[in-house]
């Protein structure tokens, strides 16, 4: 399974592609961050993010896209920008018929480190180890995007099988 993980943000949007399956070694195919300047108009910033996400989808042809679920923060403007970038990523994937999964930060942390309360440094270290990288991806948004992809490979595949089994059981019951 090939997954594009997206850590949405208006200033920095992390992108990471991981390939693998449960019980098998994972491989990082690409990682990066889309940056937009704070003094640029928001619609133009969203256009830049959208163009980059579209490019990554075209180049990497993922089987799924994993996006960090937006959660309430203290800074409303930060939440708005994150939600807008998240929406752009989801629409770009949906236009191509690529399944999109949302994972909470604590789900991602627990999947990658074993603790839903891990800090950014711990996530970076675990991503580096799990993908057998020589150095931790920088900035943290890049490592977070890879962590999202890892989380989806490990958790999303199982969840998809459960949903398919429930759907099949429902069809048989009719």
**Per-residue model confidence as pLDDT tens digits over 85-105:** 999 999 999 999 999 999 999
* 54 carries a ligand binding annotation: no
Instruction: Tell me what the mean pLDDT of segment 36-63 comes to.
Output: 98
Contact in structure between 31 and 162 (CB atoms under 8 Å): no
pLDDT of the residue at 70: 85
**Per-residue model confidence as pLDDT tens digits over 6-28:** 999 999 999 999 999 998 999 99
How many percent of the chain have pLDDT more than 90? 80
pLDDT of the residue at 158: 63
**Per-residue model confidence as pLDDT tens digits over 118-143:** 999 999 999 999 999 999 999 999 99
The CATH class, in words, for 2-173 is alpha beta
* Rounded-to-integer distance, Cα 137 and Cα 127, Å: 8
* Rounded-to-integer distance, Cα 53 and Cα 42, Å: 16
Strand-by-strand arrangement of the 12-19 sheet: 27-35, 12-19, 2-7, 64-68, 100-103
* 68 carries a ligand binding annotation: yes
Is the pLDDT at 168 greater than 80, yes or no? no
Q: Is residue 20 classed as helix, strand or coil in its secondary structure?
A: coil
Q: Record the tokens describing residue 171, joined without a space.
A: 């069809």
Residues annotated as catalytic (active site), given as ranges: 7, 68, 141
* 7 carries a ligand binding annotation: yes
- Where are the chain's structural domains? 2-173
The model's confidence at residue 73, banded by pLDDT at 50, 70 and 90, is low
pLDDT of the residue at 72: 67
């Amino acid at each position: 399974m090939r997954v594009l993980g997206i850590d949405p943000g208006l200033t920095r949007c992390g992108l990471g592609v991981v390939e693998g399956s449960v019980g098998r070694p994972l491989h990082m195919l690409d990682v990066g961050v889309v940056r937009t300047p704070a003094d640029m108009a928001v619609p133009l910033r969203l256009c830049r993010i959208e163009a980059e996400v579209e490019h990554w989808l075209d180049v990497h042809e993922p089987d799924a896209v994993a996006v960090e679920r937006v959660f309430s923060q203290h800074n409303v403007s930060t939440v708005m920008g994150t939600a807008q970038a998240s929406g752009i990523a989801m629409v770009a994937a949906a236009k191509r018929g690529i399944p999109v999964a949302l994972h909470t930060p604590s789900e991602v942390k627990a999947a990658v480190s074993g603790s839903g309360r891990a800090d950014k440094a711990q996530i970076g270290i675990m991503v580096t180890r799990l993908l057998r990288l020589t150095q931790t991806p920088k900035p943290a948004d890049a490592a977070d995007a890879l962590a999202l992809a890892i989380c989806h490979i490990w958790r999303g595949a199982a969840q998809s099988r459960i949903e398919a089994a429930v759907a099949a059981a429902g069809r048989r019951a009719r």
